[in-house]
Amino acid sequence: MKKVIYALVLPLVVVSGLVFANREIKNETSHKPSPKPVSVADRKAHRDDLKKWEASPDGIKYKKWEASPEGKRAHASADKIRMHIKDFTNMEAVVTSLSCPSGPLGGYGVMVSINGEEYIVNFWPERPDRNFTKFNNDFRQLNSLKVNDKIVIRSHSAGYSGKSPYVILTGDYLERNNKIVFKRDFRNGGC
């Protein structure tokens, strides 16, 4: 008799658990704020600010760099990985140098080759005042990289320095030999 009761109760528990879990998933997705539409006034203000910046000494210098062979090369390199950045997908790379030509912008930077193009990958571990042991562990693992290591990188953003022909990738995820070497912790509800 006990076996029959267990046989009837067990499927009931499993089904109710699945229904409850599905309800939580639906609730989580329904609370996402919808993107705020950009107004015409905001677009005009952005265009006006851009025109002011382009007329400034920094804007003029950047436009000259952009038209130079180095700038064109950097834009062509960025175009080759644009979809990987947009979709946050894996990019296979080889470490070519443990130091950057002009030094990293901060954090820890390495030079990598992705499909024959050179890129700077800059890593910004979580702030040390948040979790000091994680901060030290992140840098220790990144310092274990060697030239010619084959790695997998994921990045949410790429940018230009305006001085270098290399695109600068933000290292959000790095894997070597199927082991995670670095993974950025994205804060919930933050910028």
**Whole-Å CA distances, 50 to 44, 117, 163:** 10, 30, 20
Structure tokens that stand for 163 in this block: 């001085």
What are the boundaries of each domain within the chain?
48-183
Strands 108-114 and 158-159: unpaired
182 pLDDT band, cuts 50/70/90, is confident
55 pLDDT band, cuts 50/70/90, is very high
Pick the more confident residue, 168 or 186. Answer: 168
Neighbouring C-beta atoms of residue 42, cutoff 10 Å: 11
Q: Per-residue pLDDT tens for 107-166?
A: 678 899 999 999 998 877 555 555 545 556 667 778 888 999 999 999 988 888 777 788
- Three-state secondary structure call for residue 131: coil
Q: Would you say domain 48-183 falls under CATH 2.40.50?
A: yes
- Three-state secondary structure call for residue 23: helix
CB 123 within 8 A of CB 182: yes
Strands 167-170 and 117-123: parallel
DSSP code of residue 33: P
